[in-house]
Amino acid sequence: FRLNIDGLLVYFPYDYIYPEQYSYMLELKRTLDAKGHGVLEMPSGTGKTISLLSLIVAYQKAYPLEVTKLVYCSRTVPEIEKVVEELRKLMDYYTKQTEAKNDFLALALSSRKNLCIHPEVSSLRFGKEVDGKCHSLTASYIRAQHHSNPSQPVCQFYEEFDVVGRQVPIAPGIYNLDDLKDFGRRKGWCPYFLARYAILHANIVVYSYHYLLDPKIADLVSKELAKKSVVVFDEAHNIDNVCIDSMSVNITRVNSLVFYLLLHEEYAAKLREEYRRLVEGLKEANVARETDVYLSNPVLPDEILQEAVPGSIRTAEHFRGFMKRFLEYLKARLRIHHVVQESAPQFLKDIYEKVCIDRKPLRFCAERLRSLLRTLEIADIADFSAVTLISHFATLVSTYSKGFTIIIEPFEDRTPTIANPVLHFSCMDPSIAIKPVFGRFQSVIITSGTLSPLDIYPRILDFRPVTMASFTMTLARTCLCPLVRNDQVAMTSKFETREDFAVIRNYGNLLLEMSAIVPAGIVAFFTSYIYMENIVASWYEQVWHLREHPKKHFIETQDAAETSMALEKYQEACENGRGAILLSVARGKVSEGIDFVHHYGRAVIMFGVPYVYTQSRILKARLEYLRDQFQIRENDFLTFDAMRHAAQCVGRAIRGKTDYGLMIFADKRYARVDKRGKLPRWIQEHLTDGSLNLTIDETVQLSKHFLRQMAQPFRREDQLGLSLLTLEQLQSEDMLQKIAQIAQQA
Q: What is the CATH number of the domain that holds 638?
A: 3.40.50.300
Ranges in the chain, pLDDT < 70: 254-309, 379-383, 412-417, 476-477, 479, 485-499, 542-549, 593, 721, 741-746
What secondary structure, in 3-state letters, does 307-323 show? CCCCHHHCCHHHHHHHH
User: What is the 8-class DSSP label of residue 539?
Assistant: I
> Residue 262 is which amino acid?
L
Strand partners, 555: 583
Is the preceding omega at residue 453 within 30 degrees of 0, hence cis?
yes
In contact, 190 and 155? CB cutoff 8 Å: yes
Query: Which of 680, 653, 655 shows the shortest CA–CA distance to 582?
Result: 653
pTM of the predicted structure, to 2 decimals:
0.90
Are 389 and 502 in a shared domain? Answer: no
DSSP H or E stretch at residue 580:
strand 580-585
**Distance in angstroms (rounded) separating the CA atoms of residues 73 and 233:** 5
DSSP H or E stretch at residue 481:
strand 480-484
Are 411 and 338 in a shared domain? Answer: yes
Are 609 and 526 in a shared domain? Answer: yes
Distances (CA, A) of 255 to 217, 251, 329: 28, 11, 11
Question: How many C-beta atoms surround the C-beta of residue 375 within 10 A?
Answer: 19
Report pLDDT for 63. Answer: 93
Instruction: Please name the residues in contact with 673: beta carbons below 8 A apart, sequence gap of 6 or more.
Output: none
Are 496 and 408 in a shared domain? Answer: no
676 lies in some domain? yes
Are 539 and 669 in a shared domain? Answer: yes
Distances (CA, A) of 220 to 364, 419, 631: 18, 38, 36
In contact, 25 and 46? CB cutoff 8 Å: no
Distances (CA, A) of 474 to 235, 448, 516, 654, 725: 21, 17, 31, 13, 11
- Per residue in 250-270, pLDDT (tens digit) is 888 764 454 444 444 445 666
Query: Which of 395, 388, 344 shows the shortest CA–CA distance to 365?
Result: 395
Are 687 and 582 in a shared domain? Answer: yes
**Distance in angstroms (rounded) separating the CA atoms of residues 729 and 726:** 5
Query: Which of 142, 77, 720 shows the shortest CA–CA distance to 378?
Result: 142
Q: How far is CA 734 from the centre of its chain?
A: 40
587 lies in some domain? yes
Are 538 and 640 in a shared domain? Answer: yes
**Distance in angstroms (rounded) separating the CA atoms of residues 405 and 425:** 6
189 lies in some domain? no
Are 499 and 598 in a shared domain? Answer: yes
Instruction: Please name the residues in contact with 572: beta carbons below 8 A apart, sequence gap of 6 or more.
Output: none
Distances (CA, A) of 246 to 226, 227, 297: 23, 22, 12
Distances (CA, A) of 61 to 11, 54, 169, 491: 11, 11, 21, 55
For residues 693-724, one letter each, b for 16 or more C-beta atoms within 10 angstroms of the residue's C-beta and e for the rest, the string is bbebebbbebbeebbeebeeebeeeebeeebb
In contact, 35 and 470? CB cutoff 8 Å: no
Strands (E), 53-143: 69-74, 105-108
Question: Which of 368, 399, 420 represents a domain boundary (last residue)?
Answer: 420
Are 416 and 484 in a shared domain? Answer: no
Exposure of 704 in the CB half-sphere (CA atoms within 13 A): 9
Instruction: Please name the residues in contact with 380: beta carbons below 8 A apart, sequence gap of 6 or more.
Output: 132, 136
Are 486 and 394 in a shared domain? Answer: no
Contacts 24+ apart (CB under 8 A), 263-268: 263/316, 263/317, 263/320, 267/316, 267/375, 267/376
525 lies in some domain? yes
651 lies in some domain? yes
240 lies in some domain? no
Residue 280: domain span: 253-420
**Distance in angstroms (rounded) separating the CA atoms of residues 242 and 228:** 24
Query: Which of 234, 211, 214 shows the shortest CA–CA distance to 109?
Result: 211
Are 405 and 259 in a shared domain? Answer: yes
404-409 and 8-11 beta bridge pairing: unpaired
585 lies in some domain? yes
- Per residue in 289-336, pLDDT (tens digit) is 555 544 456 664 455 555 566 777 777 778 888 888 898 899 888 888
Question: What total number of domains does the chain contain?
Answer: 2
Are 610 and 707 in a shared domain? Answer: yes
Question: Which of 420, 442, 460 represents a domain boundary (last residue)?
Answer: 420
700 lies in some domain? yes
Exposure of 6 in the CB half-sphere (CA atoms within 13 A): 18
**Distance in angstroms (rounded) separating the CA atoms of residues 405 and 428:** 7
